[in-house]
Structures are given as structure tokens and as C-alpha cells.
Amino acid sequence: MTRSISSFSEILNTELKSVQDRVNHSTKESRKELAASLKQFEEKSSAKIEALTKDTKEGLEKNRETVEKKLAEIQAGNEAKLDKMRETVDEKLQKTLEIRLSASFKQVSDNLEKVQKWLGEMQNLASDVGDLKKVMSNVKTKGVLGEYQLGAILEQILHPSQYEKNVKTKVGSDKYVEFAIKIPSKEDSDKNVWLPIDAKLPTRDYEILMDAYNNGDKEVVENARKAFSRTVKNFAKEIKEKYIDSPNTTDFAIMFLPFEGAYAEVVRDPELFEGIQREHKIIVTGPSTIAAFLNALQVGFRSLAVEKGTSVILNILNTLSAVKKEFANF
């Protein structure tokens, strides 16, 4: 029995060893076959990848050539269109530029012609201004111009019966004021009181002052203003001494400055303007203020005329009432 088991064991071991050898051999063969298959697959894959890479490169190269060709065609077409557009634009710009240049040259020519005409007029004006400056440099002529302007204003606003020219307003004096307005007397309705109006023109001092303003020198301006103020004060004093003679005249007189600028310089200095009124009883006016003063005076004349007319009507009514009463008695 024991011998049988030992034989069986030997046989079993032998078979197991045979099976193991066959398995090892089979595994070794399978490994060889697998390695060969993998190598073959790798070779085939590499070949296919190389072929695919080659085909891809060839396709990309063809596409690149096609794209470059198309881009070159598009670029050529665009350049041709741009050249055509450039020619068209250049042609239109040239035409437009020629039209505008022609219009501009015509306008410039017209303006030059106008400028030449204006230069001629300015030369004539300069000549006239020079003549006017020569005229204005004459003190007597300046006085005549101021008197003429004052007379024109009086003529426009007042009735000729309300004022007179060249009037001797001061008793015992041989001085004649340029204009005097008739003011009805409060004490005697049939008597008139004179209101003297004299035109003055401190041209030299005013011109020096204007030049000083233009130069901008404060010290020169201050000196020029002082000289101007002295001249105006002297004018006021002269008018007071020559023409004011109350009760034959009003207790004040009017100084007329023909230039608004000169009047503005007087008003700009309140001490000068008010001092002349306070010390010399002289009211300084310009072209605009004298017109306003005369208009206000004309309103007063009309009110006085209405008042006188009312008194006359009242007297007539009283007379008629008396006549009516006497008629009834008769």
C-alpha cells in the first residue's frame, strides 16, 4: 500500500513537472509571440504614422500654396480696386480743389478790391480827419461848433419864442451869453427871467487826458485829470461872473459840454460835479442830459400854460356870471 502511494506520488510529481514544463514552454512561446506581435504592430503603426504625417504635410503644403495663391489674388484685386478708387478720389479731389481754389481766388480778388476801395475811402477819411483836426485846433472854431450843436438841440425841443440867442443877461455888463431860456417870473406873470446856457469845450485838456488813458500811466492820468478839473472850474466861475444876475436871471446857469466823453469825465468826479453846483451854481450837462433837462422844462412850461389858461377861463366865467346877474336886474 505504501509502495503504491509512493509510486502514485512519483507519477503525480512527474506529471506535474511535465505540465509545468509545458506551461512554462507555452508561456515562453506566448511571450515570444506577443513580443513579436507588439513589434510588428509597432512597426506597422510607425509606418502608418509616417505615411499619415507625410500625407498631412503634403495636404498642408497644398493648402498653404492654395491659401497663398488666393491671398495673392485677393491682394492683387484689392490693390487694383484701391488704385482705381485712388484715381477716382484724386480726380474728384483735384476737381473740387480747382473749384474751391477758383472760388477762393475770386473771393480774395473781390476782397482785395474792397480793401483797395476801403483804403481809398480811409485815405479820404484821414484827409478829412486831418482837416477836422485843424478845424478843432482853433479855439474859436470849437466854440462855434459847440454853440451850433446847442442851438440845434434847443431848436428841436423848445419853441423859438421860449429862448433867445446872444442875450445880455447881467445888468451893466456887455457880455452876451450864447443862449438864454425865458422862465416866467413867479412875482409877475408878464415878466420873464433868463436862464443862461453857455457851451464850453475843454478840448486840449480833454485830449491830453484821453492820451494819458491810452498810455496807461497813472501819474500822467492823475495830472491830466487835475488840469481838466481846473479848466472846468474856471469855465464855471466865468459863467457865474458873466451871466448870473438874480433876480434878472435864475440863481443858476447851465454849462453845456458838446462831447459825452467830456461830460462823463466831469460826472466821474463827484467832488468836481457837486463842487461846481455848490460854489458857482452851475449845472454841467452833455448832449443827452441837456435834452432831458429841456424836455422836463418844456413839460413845466405846458403845465404853467394850462394853469394860466385855467385862470383865464375862471375869470371869463366870473365875468359871465356878473353879466348874467346884471342882465337879470335889467
pLDDT the model gives residue 299: 74
Residue 235 burial (CB count, 10 A): 21
CA distance 142 to 153: 17
CA distance 160 to 181: 10
How would DSSP label each residue in 154-186? HHHHS-GGGEEEEE--STT----EEEEEEEE-S
> Is 254 in contact with 283 (CB distance < 8 Å)?
yes
Q: What parts of the chain have a pLDDT lower than 70? A: 1-4, 8, 105, 108, 112, 115-116, 118-144, 186-190, 300-330
Return the C-alpha cell found at 317.
366865467
Cis peptide before 184 (omega within 30 of 0): no
pLDDT the model gives residue 220: 85
> Is 181 in contact with 194 (CB distance < 8 Å)?
yes
Return the C-alpha cell found at 321.
356870471
Specify which residues 255 forms β-bridges with: 198, 284
CA distance 233 to 202: 11
pTM of the entire predicted model: 0.51
Contacts of 291 (CB under 8 A, 6+ apart): 153, 157
Specify which residues 199 forms β-bridges with: 256
Q: Looking at this protein, which amino acid is placed at residue 282?
A: I
pLDDT the model gives residue 324: 44
- Write the burial class of residue 253 (CB in 10 Å: 0-12 exposed, 13-18 middle, 19+ buried): buried
> Is 150 in contact with 197 (CB distance < 8 Å)?
yes
> Is 248 in contact with 193 (CB distance < 8 Å)?
yes
Residue 145 burial (CB count, 10 A): 18
Residue 287 burial (CB count, 10 A): 16
What is the dihedral sign for C-alpha 317, 322, 326, 329? positive
CA distance 31 to 28: 5
Beta-sheet strand order (sheet of 192-199): 163-167, 177-184, 192-199, 253-256, 282-285
Specify which residues 253 forms β-bridges with: 282
Pick from 242, 136, 139: nearest CA to 197: 242
pLDDT the model gives residue 234: 92
Phi, psi (deg, nearest 5) at residue 316: -65, -45
Look-up of cell digits 509512493: 6
CA distance 23 to 21: 5
